[in-house]
Amino acid sequence: MDIHKRLRAATGPLDLSVAFELAVGETLGLYGPSGVGKTSTLRMIAGLLRPDGGQISFAGERWFDEKTNLAPGKRGVGFVFQGYALFPHLTVLENLRYASRDKDARLIDELLESFQLGQLADRRPTQLSGGQAQRVALARTLVQRPRLMLLDEPLNALDTELRQEMQSYLLEAKSRFGITTILITHDPTELKTLADRVLVLGEGQVIFDGLPGDYFPPAGVLSAEVISINVDKNELTLRLGNDLLRVPSAGRSFFPGQRIAIVFTESGVSILR
C-alpha cells in the first residue's frame, strides 16, 4: 500500500502519505492521535474515498492506481465501525442469513457458536445488549467471507469488561477464520492482544512500523540513553531522565547515544535490549 491524499483538517490541509505492507493472514493495528488520518486510510482501502495518488494492492491484486479504481463491492472488504447498524426488523439469525451471499448454513452455525449467539438467534437487535449487538455485527461481517476485514474502533462503545470479552471473541475469530485484518484502536492492551504488527500514524505519516510490544513496552520497563562506556570496568553510564546511573555492561557492546530498555530488579538494574 502506498496512499496519498490531501485531507482538510480543521487546522488546515493535512497531507496523508502512508506506505506499508499488508501480509495475508496478519492483523495490523493502526494507532495514533485523533485526526491523523486513520479512518481515511481505511476508507481509501475499502474504496469509499479516492486517493489522490499511490497504489493499493492486496493479495497480489491491484485495487487502485492511476489507471485502476476497483469498485468497493469487488474488493471483498468487510468494514466494521462503532455503532455499525443491524437490520432492526430482522432477528440475529435473519441478519446473518441476509448478509450471507451463499446462505452457507454451516458457516452461520459456526459463527453463532464462536460468538456464543446460539441462544440469541431469534432475538431482534433492540433485545440485545451493546456487547451482544457488536458480536452480531462482527459475525455479520464474517459471514460475508471478506478477504480483508477493517475494524474502526469496533469496541469503543463498550465498557472495560465487555471490551476484554470482545477481545477474546476477536482472538477466537482470528484463529478460526484467519482473516487479514486492519484494526484501529486507541487501546494499547487491545493492540498487544490482537495485533501482529502496529503502524503508528502521526500527522499523516507512518512514525512506527513494528511489533506492538516494542512500541508499548511492558510496565516497569524504562528507556535510558547510553552516555559512556568504561571497557576496563565493564560498566556503562546511562541517563535516565535527569539522573545518571552506572550499570554493569555484562560483556555486551554498546555505543554512546544508544537507547536501551532497562528494568529495576531486586538485584539492581538489568538491561533488556
**Contact footprint for ligand ATP (CB under 6 A):** 7-10, 14, 34-40, 49
Q: Which is closer to ligand ATP, CB of 10 or CB of 85? A: 10
Beta carbons within 8 Å of 7's beta carbon, 6+ residues apart: 13, 14, 15, 16, 37, 40, 204
Min dist. Cβ of residue 77 to ligand ATP (A) = 17
CA–CA distance, 84 with 137 (Å, rounded to integer)? 7
Taking the least distance from each CB to ligand ATP, the nearer of 8 and 106 is 8
Residue closer to ligand ATP by CB (options 7, 221) is 7
All three cell numbers of 97, joined, read 442469513
Nearest approach in angstroms of CB 208 to ligand ATP is 15
Nearer to ligand ATP, 14 or 221 (CB): 14
As measured in angstroms, the least distance from the Cβ of 9 to ligand ATP is 3
* Minimum distance, C-beta of residue 184 to ligand ATP, in the bound complex (Å): 7
DSSP 94-122: HHHHHH-TT--HHHHHHHHHHTT-GGGTT
Specify whether the CB–CB gap between 63 and 70 falls below 8 A.
yes
Q: Cα separations (Å) of 258 from 5, 135, 228, 236?
A: 35, 45, 10, 11
Cell of 65: 492506481
Instruction: Output 9 or 59, the one with its CB closest to ligand ATP.
Output: 9
Nearest distance from residue 88's CB to ligand ATP, in Å? Answer: 26
